[in-house]
A and B are shown apart, each in its own frame.
Chain A
């Protein structure tokens, strides 16, 4: 490992202050919301604590445990099969397993409710088959806590799958071969070598999936499962008790802090780096008939349940209603969604790279803390972030407006809070952590010796980033962009609150229809979200495959 990287590496140039500015801006809403914690709340808070709080805690814990087990089981098993084995359909599953990424939790909830509730086709068919005259007493209600857990696992597992697959692929083949020569079979090699080596990536994916699960609003709201997010939403908007809602958010943050600490701890003090010198194409385990069929099943089930079935159902419903729902307004909404998602994704990657590079150059306590605080947005429900953005923006708007009126008799109005700037900023605050995690992991895989070599060959800090690190990290940067893009497409509560007047996205549209129990009519917007979400999933999963080490003469990720 050579000499440890010191805390006080040579001067960071512009990168240190730049990273600090980014961190400060992004953490502003978090700090604003946190500041609300110290405002005395009294009566309302005591009332909440005595009545609904225990059920919020209980439901949130069940969701964490259930979704955690679910995404690990699906994500790790499918990632290992696809990365290390060869069986019919592997190449298709490689990218198909990412497809549920395009389905937001609330969309899958709306769709399965339409399919499985008592007036849905499945129940009616069962009744017909069994000849029952009334509702079947044993028929499970999908709109329940277990239902929410299963559906969330089906759409959040790609976080684990994607990071675990990359980790399995980038593992030193030598280590696995050594373990084989030492008498480990494929199963033991997996348990003793592959899994421990991939642990940081898997833990990272799990943390992301669980944060997403805890932040879910659409599903639990629709299923009537009371969690922190629905509580915050109701307290904030319904009761208008903003400080009490902020305190609920703070409690929710404790859960997330536990996750963040778990993730950091599992990475340990050790920084896994690739051997640097050579890559080798991985020979795979060739699976035969029975095992191959089982592998196909393991990979096909999440794709079918998390994507194909809801997509087909949405397609059939949309086909029946498209004539009335797809119109010029609909196309505008689609464009709006794509636009904000693209802008946010690009900015998020740029900002994450700035922060992560600042950290790589100069790992002071301040820098580390700044990056962590900037990454906290992901922990905070979209609705709370919305408020954290709106409060300071409104303050700036009003101050500037007042000053302009006093000086020039002009009113500038709401030039920040009522605009796309506020919305994109809210998205950035919320999703920067995703791109930051990915970009940091990408940096972590490149030995600092690369920077040193480029520096000694006359490159400035910026030159190192541009000419060496960015090309090496193309896969990571694209992944970061993909994750943010898809999340913005799906984002609901922050969009509902921060969007400019008359600015509709596909997500808000689907939400409004579903709230009115117009599940079939909501299908066009839902399907469009899914379809728009698929395009980058395919494009980027291909790019990731292309830029993979040892697959071609091309560059190495």
Chain B
């Protein structure tokens, strides 16, 4: 990867802009790559990620679709099998349910079902998560459902580097890759490290080292967790923060290595608790590192309600910094 815009000077940009740079670079690098989705071209994307790109790259490469999630996601899958490299954008994960048949029954199944005759190199991006008062049909965190499905890879870029650089390895991957972008990250500003010119899509990363407790999270909850870790430091607790980055396949070794150091685990997941990704992570740690644990595994998840509109109700439903801090303090002080 060499075409990172702006080269040597560190750029302070939004996460949205990082996503956009990644899309632009991928389309310029390969004539087979194009993006399609609802209102991605003339409107500029419902979260403005693709704003201006259709003028620059043309409406064949940034392709507006009708409101036919099952139709155009299926078309992306078919086109990928036929030899092009579609990036399909779905406005939010809630809408992806209209295309779930195509994602689960076709994209995830065709390689195995055909005895390995076909690969399905499609990338499907979508927004996920709550925090913008968009209520119950635009705010859910259903990435854990997709992480349940064999045949898919599921990514959750939280940092600017991941937002910028995960797309290219996702396109290079011969498998269907789903990318979940948390809605609260789009406006987040940060410096895009000019030293980073590419990232992997296979490992979890330790975003903050610590010896007392392992906090496992991803996506929109990463920055809440890092903020909690700061607060915990003031209380004399050194928290290690792991950003999963890849929700399927899970990088279990990185999680277990951290647990071996800290002996305590708290999982922060904006998905609901029941049957969730956090449950899967807790189970894996319990299965493989039970005797390394000094305390029960704790989970901080969304309240088990459809996410409500009213701000105080919405916030009450979501994992919060104060909850993370209190849970960790109770855990480490129970020794």
Does A pair with B? no
